[in-house]
A and B are shown apart, each in its own frame.
Chain A
């Protein structure tokens, strides 16, 4: 009987997994023994990290998206529909159109959503760059601010040892704001204050989620006259007074509040009832080595959806995807799941508007910060504009 592998989510994780899955299982697909299906709620594929550049007027919408179908190998059955309910114990899922799909294997790659509404006043008074429209609104403010104060906050999930979206993004954008304002000639009239919460995964009172990077940040910020403050956990925002309050009892005023907001899983994942995450955040309990959903060995989780202490970023998906594909292929052919994820993540951080810093880490080894360079910046820009789409097609 034909086996069905369903992948849910048309982001980078789902797309590269669908393409590489049909490549890995080419023989079985040709013999009509296996079907690979990708379900996405959009006919478009967005390069999500480019939203950050939208906030700095560096990207047009047409440049950061492609039609999803043009990124998929023809062996992938592509369905545009919204998954509304997972029945993990019955190996079945239901969609908004009223359809249901039974599966032999499922890969959940549904990402996460910014949830500024989870902090009082943040949705009204704050800005962020994790979606297209909010990034455009932030761009309008960064384009026109003449004097005042830009206040930067970072909020971690309440679930212990789970990071916020794209770990390096707050630092990237802080340095980009500094450089943009210098180009505009208003930097001496705009104060930048970078803050970080008291608890950042396993660290306390740092400026980043990893210690070695945290230690070099004060010098980097001081060189650019960027002010910084530890121990500011955003509790609520007063939109009228334009003041942010912390759980530590501190208050800071602002003209622009650039936040890394709270995040949560998508509704269907939260409503599946299997998450053990705090505050209904919905992260799926994931085996850190095999990437199987705990208690459901035919379900695999990847990307932003997992409850692992690993960056919620495409660089994680790139390393998780081959492990999942290998385990499903081995299980189909030999009844075993030997592939192991070591927590590896790699990326090229955008350090200001021009420079870049390649970085990588895993469960055991933190990022080793190196000096940002123009070559690193060119690598990042080349990735953004060209290599990313080859990665989505499963070619890199």
Chain B
């Protein structure tokens, strides 16, 4: 609770019977971890979390949030396309080869094909980069 008064000293806080009761319960709950020295791992994890929070700044937040949106967008777009295509394919009679070829008259189908060909081109360019091994200095 955010209080309007200044913080009390530690002794006064610990003297509060509800706080003391809560601490005793917590200590009992932590006993197996304390005795097995396993609480150390949790403290180390907390320490690492705290380090991350200390290091996080506006730029890092923006980058992480943008990466999150891009991943979500990719999954969202792929999911939408998959769901839509799956519903149409499942609800229709299998087309004949002639009917299939007539689908190419649909500009959106051609745009989709063009997208996939471009995607394959981009993948190919990246694969080519992996294949090039520069000479040693």
Contact = CB atoms under 8 A, between A and B. Distances in A.
A215 B4 contact: yes
B72 to A, nearest CB: 5
B80 A73 contact: yes
Interface residues of B, number: 24
Nearest to B3: A216
Q: Is the interface of A mostly helix, strand, loop or mixed?
A: helix
Nearest to B64: A382
A194 interface: no
B4 A218 contact: yes
B96 interface: no
A381 B72 contact: no
Contacts of A295: none
A374 B50 CA distance: 11
B61 A381 contact: yes
A389 interface: yes
A272 interface: no
Interface string A100-123: 000000000000000000000000
A369 interface: yes
Interface string B48-88: 00000100101001101111110011001000100110010
A16 B67 CA distance: 21
A386 B68 contact: yes
Contacts of B58: 381
A70 B74 CA distance: 11
B2 A375 contact: no
Contact of B61 (A74, A75, A378): A378
Contacts of A98: none
A288 B72 CA distance: 34
Nearest to A375: B53
A369 B1 contact: yes
Contact of B65 (A30, A75, A371, A385): A385
A390 B64 contact: no
Interface string A210-222: 0000011011000
Given A215-B4, A385-B65, A378 B56 contact: yes
B91 interface: yes
Given A30-B87, A74-B84, A382 B1 contact: no
Contact of B69 (A215, A378, A381, A390): A390
Interface in A359-391: 368-371, 374-375, 378, 381-382, 384-387, 389-390
Nearest to B2: A369
A395 interface: yes
B69 A389 contact: yes
A390 B74 CA distance: 12
A168 to B, nearest CB: 14
A216 B2 contact: yes
Contact of B72 (A374, A375, A389): A389
B65 A384 contact: yes
Residue from B2, B56, B68, B84 whose CB has the most chain A CB atoms within 10 Å? B2
Interface of B: 1-5, 53, 56, 58, 61-62, 64-69, 72-73, 76, 80, 83-84, 87, 91
23 contacts: A70-B73, A73-B80, A74-B80, A74-B84, A369-B1, A369-B2, A370-B1, A371-B2, A374-B53, A378-B53, A378-B61, A381-B62, A382-B68, A384-B65, A385-B62, A386-B64, A386-B67, A387-B68, A389-B69, A389-B73, A390-B72, A393-B72, A395-B76
Across chains A and B, which 10 residue pairs bring their CB atoms closest together, nearest first? A385-B65, A386-B65, A386-B68, A219-B4, A369-B2, A381-B61, A386-B69, A216-B4, A390-B72, A382-B65
Given A30-B87, A382-B65, 5 more contacts: A374-B56, A385-B65, A386-B65, A386-B68, A393-B72
